A and B are shown apart, each in its own frame.
Chain A
Amino acid sequence: MPDLLIAAARVVDPFNGIDEIADVLISRGRIAKVGRGLSRDGKEVIEASGMVLSPGFLELHAHLREPGDEDAETLETGLASALRGGYTAVCCMPNTRPPLDNPAVISGLWARARDMGLADLYVIGCVTRGREGRELSDMAMMNACEARVRAFSDDGAAVEDAGVMRLALQYAAAFGGLIISHPEDTRLSRGGQVNEGAVSTALGLRGIPALAEEVVVARDILLAEETGCRLHLAHLSTARSVNMVRDAKARGVRVTAEVTPHHLVLNESDIPGYDTSYKMNPPLRTPEDVAALREGLRDGTIDAIATDHAPHRCEDKEKEFDHAPFGVVGMESAFPVLFRELVESDEIPLERLLGALTRGPAEVMDLRPPEYGAGIVVGARADMVLLNLEEEWIMDASRFVSKGRNCPFHGRSVKGRVAYTVKNGRVVYAHEDGRG
């Protein structure tokens, strides 16, 4: 394989604070040189003038559906979907069938992903055995196995019992594990379909109050403070949640938080005609919540953008609103949607957006080089994404490589395109004109 030269890109590297025009030479899977006017002789050259070169993105929160729901997504389609979205690494949630709650199942999944040579896979294990919320899973054994599980979550549900959550945080703290909370009190949200308020009233759908999230955010922050364990809050959706995290960080609680692209861009009034591609949990909230989430992303209260990629079979989504499952796919639409809605509108600088897709999630997961996060410097593994920021196009879910088509951004005008994704020095995705 000839050496690859990415010529004259704007290199934006949140890990090393770099933002400059440079050529990047890749040889044998690693970055060999970074500089201006590098020799092109004998190299395969990508003309990248006007484009942005970033470290490959890290997806913190994806449902890859294996094992158990391979007709909704497989490891292979999910990890290929990641590459198409510019993600070179993916953390997958354990709410599969059966759940990922033991080293044997997790090691098997992880080894298969490694052999595919697509995006890297980091498996998140269950907090409780069978995700049943009663007994702790074998967290330390999962941590010690080949797949090196470092984060645990019963995502899809909170650990309902505060006593069990407290034990989980105490236990995980001992080996440096991270507990990821899905903040939802189902006694407040049960039967709910959309945000509780004017829109749920007008649509005649049962509401999910903001409070259902906020009471668990408050509880888990207190438990983390008490135990000293690292806590990560998944998919924040309300202004009050953001404020609680901001206050907790200010007093030194080891808490991090993520937000999804859909909660940053859409609000409850955007749901068109009972379209189930807009049904997700937590639900789309109010414009005030969206503004608070953007502010939280801007000021660093929110560490990372995670898509909560949740593919479903079309026939499961094409149902009555109450009967359709929650969740939307996200990895292939994330960057173009966020670039148009946040960066083009001057709300969030490009460097902050890229930081929230790379360094932010790496810090949440405590991933370090050489595994992930060396950035674009000599010697680093060449995992990068080249972004064309000029291109305007229409998002078309029918062209996703994910099996999921349930995307609320389908048909939306977006800007910015993943032109190339490079993994281990190889071009693993290249956009061709005429493909959505």
Chain B
Amino acid sequence: MVERRHLLDVDDLDREGIERILDMARSFAEVQRRPIKKVPSLRGKTVANLFYEPSTRTRLSFELAAKRLSADVLNFTASASSVQKGESLKDTALTLEAMGVDAVVVRHPVAGTPWLLRKWINATILNAGDGMHAHPTQALLDLFTMRERMGNLEGKTIAFVGDILHSRVARSGMKACRFMGMEVLAVAPPTLLPPVAMEGVEFTCDFDAALPRCDVIYMLRMQKERQQEGRVPSIEEYVRFYQIDAGRMGRARPGAMVMHPGPMNRGVEISSEVADAPYAVMTAQVASGVAVRMAALFTLLGGAEGGDGIA
């Protein structure tokens, strides 16, 4: 039996594996520009989207990616609270396995859930976001977006700005950027930084001082509940020191770009002026998402079996 391969976090890939997926994503991006956007690569395979968190964009992106590869798609959406009372995650997973799904794409509010699924069932697991922990396909699509615009990423500097502590996008993104040889800054008020710096990541609370070093400014969504938890005194104060606006953009490196995983809070972490500017690449990120997820699904489920540099 061929050993199942999974994409749980970017650690499952090395730099070479990442580049292979990004290269493949480029050809799938080309497919998306054709009048007929579908290829038969995964015909006969079944992909289940198991979403325990509301996430329209990621689910649609995975669904579209699977369908454009001609896979059959099942969607299972549930709120974590109702599931806690009803069927256990394990029983749901066993049900999907009994139905013969080849891959499970899982989004869950609790960190580590994809690792439990890998232990419980014999299907390929793709992590579509687990709690504050990891979001590997987001990291890959962000790399793809940056590479398409900047070419080689080696030596470039990216600052992740905002609620680093609770962000899976930042956790996977920072690791992936390090893999590609980028300098990584984490910028936030001290109460939104993790207790210990991640390896190779520079922590700072001073956004204005960091800006002149930045080729990429990656803004994270600021949730209102962080203010209620007392982690920031007020949204107004947060905006004053951590919002990316036109004035701050003027201090970044020439040609710097702004990214955001969406959905944006206009007027909080990002001003409307910046959000709509040409150097803000959010729509390119969304378009990259489908191509990168096609590449990830194809690498894990299709083609030559085994030994593709993906764990």
Interface residues of chain A, those whose CB is within 8 Å of chain B, are 196-198, 200-207, 209, 273-274, 315, 318-323
Number of residue pairs spanning A and B whose beta carbons lie under 8 angstroms apart: 63
**What are the residues of chain A within 8 A of B196 when measuring CB–CB?**
197-198, 201
Determine if B111 and A319 form an interchain contact, defined as CB atoms under 8 angstroms apart: no
Task: Give the interface centre of A200, A202, A206 by most chain B CB atoms within 10 Å.
Answer: A202
Determine if B112 and A201 form an interchain contact, defined as CB atoms under 8 angstroms apart: no
**Closest-CB distance, B241 to chain A (whole angstroms):** 23
Give the B interface residue count (CB, 8 A).
24
Q: When A273-B119, A320-B113 are in contact, do A204 and B130 touch as well, CB less than 8 Å?
A: yes
Determine if B195 and A321 form an interchain contact, defined as CB atoms under 8 angstroms apart: no
Stretch of B131-139, B283-291, B299-307 lying at the A interface: B131-139
Determine if A323 and B112 form an interchain contact, defined as CB atoms under 8 angstroms apart: no
**Closest-CB distance, A283 to chain B (whole angstroms):** 13
Q: When A273-B119, A274-B115 are in contact, do A204 and B133 touch as well, CB less than 8 Å?
A: yes
Chain A to chain B contacts (Cβ below 8 Å), 18 pairs: A197-B196, A198-B196, A201-B198, A203-B111, A204-B112, A204-B131, A206-B132, A273-B115, A274-B111, A274-B116, A318-B90, A320-B108, A320-B110, A320-B116, A321-B110, A321-B111, A322-B109, A322-B111
**What are the residues of chain B within 8 A of A207 when measuring CB–CB?**
195
**Closest-CB distance, B50 to chain A (whole angstroms):** 12
B84 at the interface (CB under 8 A from A): yes
Determine if A204 and B111 form an interchain contact, defined as CB atoms under 8 angstroms apart: yes
B171 at the interface (CB under 8 A from A): yes
User: Which of chain B's residues 147-175 have a Cβ closer than 8 Å to chain A?
Assistant: 168, 171
Cα separation A201 to B196 with both chains bound (whole Å): 7
**What are the residues of chain A within 8 A of B131 when measuring CB–CB?**
204-205, 322
B281 at the interface (CB under 8 A from A): no
**Closest-CB distance, B85 to chain A (whole angstroms):** 11
The 3 closest A-B pairs by CB, nearest first: A204-B133, A274-B112, A320-B110
Q: When A204-B131, A204-B132 are in contact, do A273 and B90 touch as well, CB less than 8 Å?
A: no
B89 at the interface (CB under 8 A from A): yes
**What are the residues of chain A within 8 A of B90 when measuring CB–CB?**
318-319
Please name the residue on chain B nearest to A316 by beta carbon.
B88
Cα separation A226 to B71 with both chains bound (whole Å): 71
**What are the residues of chain A within 8 A of B194 when measuring CB–CB?**
200-201
User: Which of chain B's residues 189-207 have a Cβ closer than 8 Å to chain A?
Assistant: 194-196, 198
Cα separation A393 to B109 with both chains bound (whole Å): 39
Cα separation A273 to B198 with both chains bound (whole Å): 19
Determine if A201 and B195 form an interchain contact, defined as CB atoms under 8 angstroms apart: yes
Q: When A196-B195, A197-B196, A323-B84 are in contact, do A203 and B89 touch as well, CB less than 8 Å?
A: no
User: Which of chain B's residues 207-250 have a Cβ closer than 8 Å to chain A?
Assistant: none
Task: Give the interface centre of A203, A205, A320 by most chain B CB atoms within 10 Å.
Answer: A320
Task: Give the interface centre of B112, B131, B134 by most chain A CB atoms within 10 Å.
Answer: B112
**What are the residues of chain A within 8 A of B110 when measuring CB–CB?**
320-323
**Closest-CB distance, B260 to chain A (whole angstroms):** 20
**Closest-CB distance, B111 to chain A (whole angstroms):** 4
**What are the residues of chain A within 8 A of B133 when measuring CB–CB?**
203-205
Cα separation A198 to B198 with both chains bound (whole Å): 8
Q: When A203-B111, A204-B133, A205-B111 are in contact, do A319 and B198 touch as well, CB less than 8 Å?
A: no
**Closest-CB distance, B134 to chain A (whole angstroms):** 6
Cα separation A196 to B108 with both chains bound (whole Å): 22
Cα separation A201 to B116 with both chains bound (whole Å): 19
Determine if A320 and B115 form an interchain contact, defined as CB atoms under 8 angstroms apart: no
**Closest-CB distance, A404 to chain B (whole angstroms):** 18
**What are the residues of chain B within 8 A of A196 when measuring CB–CB?**
195
Cα separation A201 to B195 with both chains bound (whole Å): 7
**Closest-CB distance, B84 to chain A (whole angstroms):** 6
Q: Mark B116-138, 1 if CB is under 8 A from A, else 0.
A: 10010000000000111110000
**What are the residues of chain A within 8 A of B134 when measuring CB–CB?**
204
Please name the residue on chain A nearest to B194 by beta carbon.
A201
Cα separation A322 to B130 with both chains bound (whole Å): 11
Cα separation A206 to B112 with both chains bound (whole Å): 12
Sample of 10 further A-B pairs with CB below 8 A, known A201-B194, A204-B168, A321-B113: A198-B196, A200-B195, A202-B198, A204-B130, A205-B111, A207-B195, A273-B112, A274-B115, A320-B112, A320-B113
